[in-house]
Amino acid sequence: MTERAPALEMRGITKRFPGTVANDGIDLGVHPGEIRALLGENGAGKTTLVNILYGLVTPDSGEILIDGSAVRIADPADAIARGIGMVHQHFMLVPVLSVVENVILGDEVTRGPFLDLAAAGGRVRALARQLGFEIDPEARVESLSVGQQQRIEILKAIYREARILVLDEPTAVLTPQEALEIFEVLRRLRSEGRSVIFISHKLDEALAIADRITVIRRGKVVGTRLPNETSEAELAELMVGREVSLRVDRGTSRPGDVVLVVEGLHAKNDRGHETLRGVDLDVRAGEIHGIAGVAGNGQDELVGAIVGLRKASAGRITFSGRDVTGASPRELQHAGQAHVPGDRHRFGLVLTFSVADNLVLTNYHDPPFAYGPFELLRGDAAVGRRATALVEEFDVRTPSTDVAVSSLSGGNQQKLVVAREFRPDVKLLVLDQPTRGLDVGSVEFIHRRVVAARDAGMAVLLVSAELDEVLDLSDRVSVMYRGRLVATVPAEEAKRERIGLLMAKGAA
Amino acid sequence: MRARLARLWRPAQLPALAILLALAVAAVIVIASSAFTGLGFQPLLPIVAYTNLFIGAFGSGTGIANTLVAAAPLMLGGLAVGLGFKAGLFNIGVAGQFLAGAFAAAVVGSSLATSSPLVAVPAAFVAGALAGAALAFIPGILKARTGAHEVVTTIMLNNAIALILAWALQELVAAPGFSFPRTGEIGNAALPVLAGRNLHLGIPLAFLAIFAVRWLLERTTLGFEIRATGANPEAARYAGMRPVFLVTLTMCLSGLLAGAAGAVQLLGVIGFYASGISASVGFDSIAVALLGRSDPIGILFAAILFGAFRAGAPLMQITTSVPIEVIDIIQGLIILFLAADLIVRRVFRVRAAKAEIKELETVTRSWSGTPAAH
């Protein structure tokens, strides 16, 4: 790294929210032509920091310098004018517009009162070539893959002449191959002298792409490392503040009877398209069967049909030797199913309810949480006792069991769902993205519980878009591609590269 | 102690400030309008008017009785709307269910007019409540089975039931010997007067309903399911609750309360059913539920406030010539300030954290498709 003036310098940035200090005197300097990774747990303050940079949040104190001079960034328009570009985790694209239209949106090329789409198309095409993208500028955005859409976001920022590009967890939605491709793009941007700030909680990615890695914990910078002088273990320890084991020792499984059998299952998505197109699978007691796949290849429909939330349009589901096709969620819960849903806000929690009430959301009607005729009366004392015990056992960080779940951090909310669903009397655990968005400490904790559940004889169906999670935990791995399982292999034969290819292309 | 007071104050804060602001704005209107009447410009008029309003409502035994008599149907109607809100349902049909309840109570009551009150009163009251429930069953089952939006169906049913009742009154149950169609005297079916001139049995019944609904929501698994369905219908489904059953049942319970409101008003105050009996209770109930934030205790206070407005307004008009219609302005302003709570927060510098009126989300969500889309 040459000692040039930093393109961006943030000094002593402090931001307090009621009850917490999100950023506590953060200093950060990024040079031109540098890729800087920002690592940190959920709630460490990474997103607050870049939101301050992009003018979405006003800091309580601290200053921002661009090319050595102090600036005040009041809103995103200010940030863009100063050469800062942002690629959000959730894309800000208009699906029905073309690539060109999306890129120029808000900064239109006009001739008189009219859009000059031809001229704009030429500029976008030239820019894409310069960045090494292969993109049809006339294509509608909704017809493009997630990876391509992300490139359009980058194109948008570069089109606005961003010299400092911020990417918030850019690989969270990508296949491993797409992630590698986006790294190529970032390297190209670096070679043009631009600065890149790359937010992640994935250690291997930070090591692979960054020139320097800055770790943030509880709003403070706890260290900056060069990738060739550090290790995943050291970074994880910096992030969490204690030693973490990154890989659970899975041990050997002792598969027992087949608990769940799915045969020729078809199902439609919410828009009525058949996105689950003939899946056969089984899960045995004492085994973790992992389903790898890029999000949106029918996993939601598969899980929905198994747990009774979605109607199967064809096929059969057998649970504990009983045909349960079309059974209701309640019937399946009583038969011994538990489900950690992929979207905890949409399905797993009632955010306005208390921690205690959410901890009995799926068994509030069972004694001792309910009593009297028709189990009509609530056993508040029992609910309270259960809540206190589970909060303790699963280390859910909450001021009390009476506060609304919405006030908990995402990681603690997820632990709450896991605590509720990992009941000892369960025969089949259906886990959908059980660690989505969680930091390494919480991931480690949940992974241990999954293995413990398996060792206690539960059958576990694990669906995850995180390939590493599937590979680390599963005793058998299946790959889902366009509504079908394209391969099922034992763990020892599941090589990362091959599974990655199967996820991306459906064949390897 | 202080912590407990703070816990009570937090949910009551915005409604209380909205009332204050509404009274202030109405005062300006009263002063301005005084300049155009024969009285001349009187800057102190609002204070005098509000004092008389208060004295009229609470200044005497009769005043308090009048307040409670006016509040009783509003309590029941407010509970009807509030219970719906808890389940994410906006029952605008309270007006129609109120009429159906009043009609059924009048018909059963007049046919049992000479029976023992021990038979006639419960029979007429229960008939009214059940009529409301039966009417609300229609939008309930339509919503649960087909997704037909309850706002649309209840509004349409309000008109339909008003016309059906007008026909039924004229053709089926009109009592002979009157110059206009009306039901016969209810005689022994009238709610017994417990004290004073008009403090009837419906008032303790309404109080009982407040605590019954509170118990249902807070202490029973059914209430837990209703609240979960309202707060997050998809999580409720995930948890194994039965949305079809819950939506239908909640609508029926809501209609039951609205019908009871109609029965109380008819058996306790009006005494017979005729075209054009006041259905304003139906719409005031929505305001009461919003002001009470769907909480039964909040609804109790909101209903008493609205009842006090009605009971105190005549004295205000007699002594200060400020017209009774000012009450409608105040009520309208209260709802306006609840809906636009940003204004209240600006004026009183209340922090935004958790202060907003959640129930209004049910109202706004009503127009953006089914709650399940969230």
Between positions 311 and 330 of A, the ones with CB within 8 A of B are 328-330
Contact A264, A316 (CB under 8 A): yes
- Contacts of residue B353 in chain A, CB cutoff 8 Å? 18
Q: Which chain A residue lies closest to B221 (C-alpha atoms)?
A: A376
* Alpha carbon distances (Å) from A407 to A207, A246, B88, B90: 33, 28, 22, 27
Q: Residue B216: how many CA atoms within 13 Å on its side-chain side? A: 20
Distance CA A366, CA A423 (A): 13
- Contacts of residue B357 in chain A, CB cutoff 8 Å? none
DSSP code at position B269: I
pLDDT of residue A466: 81
Q: Radius of gyration (Cα) for chain A, nearest Å?
A: 24
Residues contacting residue B369 through CB under 8 Å, at least 6 positions apart = none
pLDDT of residue A451: 95
- Contacts of residue A352 in chain B, CB cutoff 8 Å? 231-232, 358
Answer yes or no: do B240 and A352 touch at CB < 8 A.
no
Cis before A113 (ω within 30): no
Facing B232 at nearest CB: one of A309, A350, A370: A350
pLDDT of residue A4: 64
Answer yes or no: do A328 and B240 touch at CB < 8 A.
yes
Contact A337, A432 (CB under 8 A): no
Q: Enter the pTM of the model.
A: 0.79
Contact A475, A490 (CB under 8 A): yes
pLDDT of residue A437: 65
- A365 touching chain B per CB within 8 A: yes
Q: Which chain B residue lies closest to A307 (C-alpha atoms)?
A: B238
Shortest Cα–Cα distance, A332 to chain B (Å): 9
Distance CA A463, CA A479 (A): 10
- Contacts of residue A329 in chain B, CB cutoff 8 Å? 237-240
Q: Residue A184: how many CA atoms within 13 Å on its side-chain side? A: 12
Q: Which chain A residue lies closest to B234 (C-alpha atoms)?
A: A347
Answer yes or no: do B221 and A362 touch at CB < 8 A.
no
Element (H, E) at A238: helix A232-240
List, for residues A18-40, the tens digit of each pLDDT value. 667 889 999 999 999 999 999 88
Interface test with A, best of B219, B224, B227, B362 (most A CBs within 10 A): B224
Among B269, B261, B70, B97, CA closest to B186: B269
Q: Which residues of B sit within 8 Å Cβ distance of A?
A: 219-222, 224, 227-228, 231-232, 234-242, 353, 358
Average pLDDT, chain A: 88
Helix axes B280-291 and B2-34, enclosed angle (nearest 10): 130
What pLDDT band is residue A313 in, cutting at 50, 70 and 90?
Answer: very high
Answer yes or no: do A357 and B358 touch at CB < 8 A.
no
pLDDT of residue B374: 28
Strand A476-481 relative to strand A312-319, pairing: unpaired
Interface test with B, best of A330, A361, A371, A402 (most B CBs within 10 A): A361
- Contacts of residue A420 in chain B, CB cutoff 8 Å? none
Among B327, B326, B315, CA closest to B63: B315
- A352 touching chain B per CB within 8 A: yes
List, for residues A427-472, the tens digit of each pLDDT value. 999 999 898 767 778 888 899 999 999 999 999 999 998 888 899 9
DSSP string, B74-85: HHHHHHHHHHHH
Facing B238 at nearest CB: one of A348, A370, A376: A348
- A183 touching chain B per CB within 8 A: no
List, for residues A172-209, the tens digit of each pLDDT value. 767 777 888 889 889 999 999 999 999 887 788 889 99
Facing A352 at nearest CB: one of B231, B236, B239: B231
What pLDDT band is residue A352 in, cutting at 50, 70 and 90?
Answer: very high
Amino acid in position A289: H
Facing B221 at nearest CB: one of A18, A352, A370: A370
Give the neighbor-by-neighbor strand order of the sheet with A8-17: A20-30, A8-17, A61-66, A69-71
Q: Average pLDDT of A321-336?
A: 94
DSSP string, B236-247: HHHTT--HHHHH
Between positions 372 and 391 of A, the ones with CB within 8 A of B are 375-378, 380
pLDDT of residue B275: 84
Measured in whole angstroms, how far is the alpha carbon of residue A265 from the centre of its chain? 27
Distance CA A192, CA A154 (A): 14
Interface test with A, best of B4, B227, B229, B232 (most A CBs within 10 A): B232
Most confidently predicted of A101-115, A386-400, B225-239: B225-239
Tell the residue number behind the tokens 């120029």, with chain if given: A104
Facing A376 at nearest CB: one of B222, B227, B236: B222
Facing B237 at nearest CB: one of A329, A353, A370: A329
Share of chain A above pLDDT 90, in %: 50
Judged against a pLDDT cut of 90, whether residue A344 lies above it is answered with: no
What is the phi/psi pair of residue B85, to 5°?
-55, -40
Shortest Cα–Cα distance, A262 to chain B (Å): 20
Shortest Cα–Cα distance, A269 to chain B (Å): 14
Answer yes or no: do B235 and A333 touch at CB < 8 A.
no
Collapsed DSSP state (helix, strand, coil) of residue A172: coil
Residues contacting residue A195 through CB under 8 Å, at least 6 positions apart = A7, A8, A30, A31, A32, A33, A34, A35, A36, A163, A164, A165
Answer yes or no: do B235 and A378 touch at CB < 8 A.
no
Shortest Cα–Cα distance, B232 to chain A (Å): 6
Judged against a pLDDT cut of 70, whether residue A212 lies above it is answered with: yes
Shortest Cα–Cα distance, B237 to chain A (Å): 7
CA-based end-to-end distance of chain B:
39
- Contacts of residue B231 in chain A, CB cutoff 8 Å? 350-353
Among A138, A160, A17, A31, CA closest to A85: A160
Per-residue pLDDT tens digits of chain B, which is 374 residues long: 677 777 777 778 888 889 999 999 999 988 888 777 666 777 788 898 899 999 989 998 899 999 999 999 999 999 999 999 999 999 999 999 999 999 999 999 999 988 899 999 999 999 999 999 999 999 999 998 998 899 999 999 999 999 999 999 988 888 888 888 898 889 889 999 998 888 999 999 999 999 999 999 999 999 999 999 999 999 999 999 998 899 999 999 999 999 999 999 999 999 999 987 876 888 899 999 999 989 999 999 999 999 999 999 999 988 888 888 889 999 999 989 888 877 777 777 765 444 455 666 665 554 433 333 32
Share of chain A above pLDDT 70, in %: 98
Beta bridge pairs of residue A70:
A65
Residues contacting residue B232 through CB under 8 Å, at least 6 positions apart = A346, A349, A350, A351, A352, B374
Q: How many CB atoms sit inside 10 A of residue B183's CB?
A: 25
Among A189, A84, A191, CA closest to A133: A189
